[in-house]
Amino acid sequence: MAANGDEKRSRREDAGGEEEEEEEEENGGMIMEAWERAYADERSWESLQEDESGLLRPLDTASILHAHYRRRLLRRASAPASSRIQKGLIRYLYLVIDLSRAASETDYRPSRMVLVSKGVETFVREFFDQNPLSHIGLVIIKDGVAHRLTDLGGTPDSQIKVLMGKRECSGEASLQNALELVRDYLGQVPSYGHREVLILYSSLNTCDPGDIMETIEKCKKDKIRCSVVGLSAEIYICKYLCEETGGSYTVALDESHFKELLLEHAPPPAAIAEYAAANLIKMGFPQRGADGVIAICSCHKEAKVGGGYTCPRCKARICELPTECRLCGLTLVSSPHLARSYHHLFPVTPFNEVTSMLLNKSNRKTSQTCFGCQQSLGNHGSTSLHVSCPKCNQLFCLDCDMYIHESLHNCPGCESQRESRSYDAKA
């Protein structure tokens, strides 16, 4: 909930600058007249809503939020079970960032490049949250060549740090060079992985050494799913690339739209069966060593104090996860890493809406409390709506309903009884 609020605030700030783009200096964005700020920051017209008779009234944000959430939840639940589960959860994605001259333009605030790098930061974090075993690598294109910034890896912080240090824009962009480079690196990933490229493209042209159509054909053959998020206008070659390789092509309208489009690529795409073979991978879940214990690690061949993990098969010491054991070759992962995505597999069934009238009839007690947070459900102002879990029949307030389905992913009622254990046959 707290994170949500933050995001909304920052989105509002970002969206602020569209109106007065002409007056802005290159590195500015901060210099604004007071009256401008009043419009840009507060956007007071957005908090008004037109009712049936055409009158303006302040927005009832809480109920709108809940209505939005219900719609999202029901849409997710109504999707066929197979498409909900068949996700390519092990993804190998190269993020290609256009740092050509076009990226230094300031039609987006404060500039395209800054917007893109900020977007990449949130995207990378969100990506690892949703795809725990996946890998991301960064590639930049400038001066007509593509350059790999980071290797495919599983840690968000190091990736972001490297990008933040390399943000100068110059020269032309070359789509073909970028694709060739990425195709080369993606050729080495295991076949159960999903190969993907996501290009954040600012330019309106591409400056290529050869025939890009051939490259696109090769990408298609290698089953690399290419997607593009454009920052200027729609370009035919990008559209063609995405159509051919099964990716998606979108062009941003403004700052908040760009972020939205970018984050659409964070959840795992529906896996196309032929793109990656399903496999059972043997994995170990190493135990973390106690603080203060000295051991020699097998990866650096050094004596280290504290931390570290122990391979469950050969008992070798490893510094970081995920990795492959140097001695016995077992793939080693941290089990919480895997568990982060299990709520996709066992979602909490949507709760049914119950109005308070129904409540009074069916229950002898007039004052009911939410099973989750103990808040009384009776006097809730205008909204006397509650929900009940179809499995355990416990009542919940709307806030708990939202928290349970969006963050907790457990029904406290079902977990508080013996019979219905969570993981059988929910899907």
User: Which residues in 55-84 contact another protein (CB under 8 A)?
Assistant: 82
- Least distance CB 141 / another protein (angstroms): 26
User: Apex CA 331: angle with CA 325 and CA 335, to 5°?
Assistant: 115
User: Apex CA 101: angle with CA 96 and CA 102, to 5°?
Assistant: 75
Contact yes or no for 394/419 (Cβ under 8 A): no
- Least distance CB 59 / another protein (angstroms): 18
Give the one entry of another protein, Zn ion, none that residue 46 binds, where binding means its C-beta sits below a cut-off of 5 to 8 angstroms depending on kind: none
Q: Which of these ranges, 105-113, 150-158, 233-241, 402-410, lies near another protein under the rule CB under 8 A?
A: 402-410
Positive/negative CA dihedral, 263, 266, 268, 270? positive
Q: Which two tokens stand for residue 334?
A: 């941290």
Give the one entry of another protein, Zn ion, none that residue 416 binds, where binding means its C-beta sits below a cut-off of 5 to 8 angstroms depending on kind: another protein
Number of residues that bind another protein (CB under 8 A): 83
209 binds another protein (CB under 8 A): no
- Least distance CB 276 / another protein (angstroms): 7
Give the one entry of Zn ion, another protein, none that residue 331 binds, where binding means its C-beta sits below a cut-off of 5 to 8 angstroms depending on kind: another protein
Q: Which amino acid is at 224?
A: I
1 binds another protein (CB under 8 A): yes
Rounded CA separation 294/42 (Å): 56
Upstream peptide bond of 350 is cis (omega within 30 degrees of 0)? no
Rounded CA separation 166/162 (Å): 7
Which residue from 338, 350, 380, 391 is in contact with another protein, where contact means CB under 8 A?
Answer: 338
Contact yes or no for 398/383 (Cβ under 8 A): yes
341 binds another protein (CB under 8 A): yes
Q: Which two tokens stand for residue 388?
A: 């009940």
- Least distance CB 219 / another protein (angstroms): 20
In this complex, which beta carbon is closest to another protein, that of residue 209 or of residue 336? 336
Give the one entry of another protein, Zn ion, none that residue 300 binds, where binding means its C-beta sits below a cut-off of 5 to 8 angstroms depending on kind: Zn ion
386 three-state secondary structure: strand
243 binds another protein (CB under 8 A): no
- Least distance CB 249 / another protein (angstroms): 26
Rounded CA separation 165/121 (Å): 13
- Least distance CB 312 / Zn ion (angstroms): 8
Rounded CA separation 62/385 (Å): 12
Q: Which of these ranges, 9-17, 88-96, 100-108, 295-303, lies near another protein under the rule CB under 8 A?
A: 88-96
In this complex, which beta carbon is closest to Zn ion, that of residue 102 or of residue 316? 316
Give the one entry of another protein, Zn ion, none that residue 415 binds, where binding means its C-beta sits below a cut-off of 5 to 8 angstroms depending on kind: another protein
Q: Which of these ranges, 145-153, 166-174, 287-295, 380-388, lies near another protein under the rule CB under 8 A?
A: 287-295
366-395: contacts with another protein (CB under 8 A): 370-375
- Least distance CB 274 / Zn ion (angstroms): 17
β-sheet bridge partners, residue 44: none
Burial (CB < 10 A; 0-12, 13-18, 19+), residue 46, is exposed
**Interface with Zn ion by CB under 5 A: which residues?**
297, 299-300, 311, 313-314, 316, 319, 325, 327-328, 330, 370, 372-373, 375, 389, 391-392, 397, 400, 411, 413-414
Of 348, 405, 407, 339, residue with least CA distance to 3: 407
Distance of CA 61 to CAs 42, 48, 67, Å?
A: 15, 10, 10
Between helix 2-15 and helix 255-263 the angle, nearest 10°, is 140
In this complex, which beta carbon is closest to another protein, that of residue 171 or of residue 312? 312
Q: Which of these ranges, 63-71, 135-143, 271-279, 381-389, lies near another protein under the rule CB under 8 A?
A: 271-279
Q: Which of these ranges, 8-16, 97-105, 144-152, 275-283, lies near another protein under the rule CB under 8 A?
A: 275-283
From the centroid of its chain, how far is CA 204?
Answer: 27
Contact yes or no for 260/117 (Cβ under 8 A): no
